[in-house]
């Protein structure tokens, strides 16, 4: 494996023995690319697509479609987690910032992939303190493609147990380590969707973390800067990390 993994790109060179191993290698590549999409990544970090990834590009493009609506003013409660010193708190959503939806077809499920999900990020604040802004991300299972308007009983039959959430696991670990240079976890809630939701009984996870001063460095913004500006940002990160 070759790569510059620091910016999220890696390259596979897979050696195989002619036609007898070709199908196995093709499945391996297919699974790796789908795994990247399932982890909110991309099927092409810097190169072209080619015919081999055409279907995956269509799936990645569909990630911009909206699948659930959480109106401003919605209240979400994160229950107390005494072992992590997190009190019970009710949060009020004030603004939706972004949403990504990763759709899976019935064939994808038959091939062993997990059902699709949506992840949306919001600005929120505690109900008892509107001046304290925070971010919230909600992860939610979504129906298999083509079943979005199916009866609720059919959508409910697609519900799966909650899978480990990497973002939440990272926040928990950083809080446990008392890491002083990352936004602090303020609360989280793991549960299932209600009877009137998009996948009744499907998993739903809400994560709340503090909004720290400054502006987020999105990938598009960072690479729009000139080399000198990027190097200054890198050096500042190194200084704080040390």
Q: Where are the domains of the chain?
A: 2-61, 65-210
Residues 241 and 62: their CA atoms lie apart, in Å, by 37
Distance between terminal CA atoms of the chain?
29
* CA distance readout (Å), 182 to 78, 86, 172: 21, 17, 12
Q: Is the pTM of this model over 0.75?
A: no
Nearest to 64 by CA among 112, 123, 113, 120: 120
| Residue 222, number of CB atoms within 10 A of its CB | 14
DSSP string, 196-229: TSSSTT-EEEEEEEE--SS----HHHHHHS-HHH
Beta strands in 53-106 (DSSP E): 75-78, 89-102
59-116 pLDDT tens trace:
565 545 556 678 889 999 999 999 989 999 999 999 998 888 888 889 888 888 888 8
Percent of the chain with pLDDT over 70: 82
121-145 pLDDT tens trace:
999 999 999 999 999 999 999 999 8
Reading phi first (left if > 0) and then psi (alpha if -120 to 50, else beta), residue 77 is in beta
226 band by pLDDT with thresholds 50, 70 and 90: very high
């Amino acid at each position: 494996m070759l790569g510059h993994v620091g910016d999220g790109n890696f390259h596979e060179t897979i050696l195989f023995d002619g036609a007898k191993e070709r199908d196995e290698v093709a499945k391996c590549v297919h699974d790796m690319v789908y795994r990247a999409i399932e982890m909110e990544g991309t099927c092409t970090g810097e190169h072209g697509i080619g015919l081999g990834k055409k279907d995956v590009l269509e799936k990645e493009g569909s990630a911009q479609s909206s699948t659930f609506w959480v109106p401003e003013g919605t209240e979400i409660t994160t229950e107390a987690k005494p072992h992590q010193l997190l009190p019970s708190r009710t949060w009020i959503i004030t603004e939706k910032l972004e949403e990504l939806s990763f759709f899976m077809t019935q064939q994808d499920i038959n091939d062993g992939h997990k059902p699709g999900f949506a992840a949306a990020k919001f600005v929120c604040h505690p109900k008892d303190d509107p001046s304290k802004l925070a971010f919230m991300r909600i992860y939610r299972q979504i129906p298999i493609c083509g079943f979005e308007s199916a009866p609720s009983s059919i959508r409910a039959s697609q519900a799966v147990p909650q899978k480990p959430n990497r973002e939440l696991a990272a926040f928990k670990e950083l809080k446990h380590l008392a890491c002083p240079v990352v936004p602090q976890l303020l609360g989280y809630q793991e549960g299932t969707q209600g009877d009137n939701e998009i996948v009744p009984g499907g998993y739903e996870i809400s994560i709340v973390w503090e909004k720290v001063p400054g502006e987020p460095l999105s990938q598009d913004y960072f690479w729009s800067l000139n080399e000198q500006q990027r190097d200054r940002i890198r050096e500042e990160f190194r200084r704080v990390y040390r």
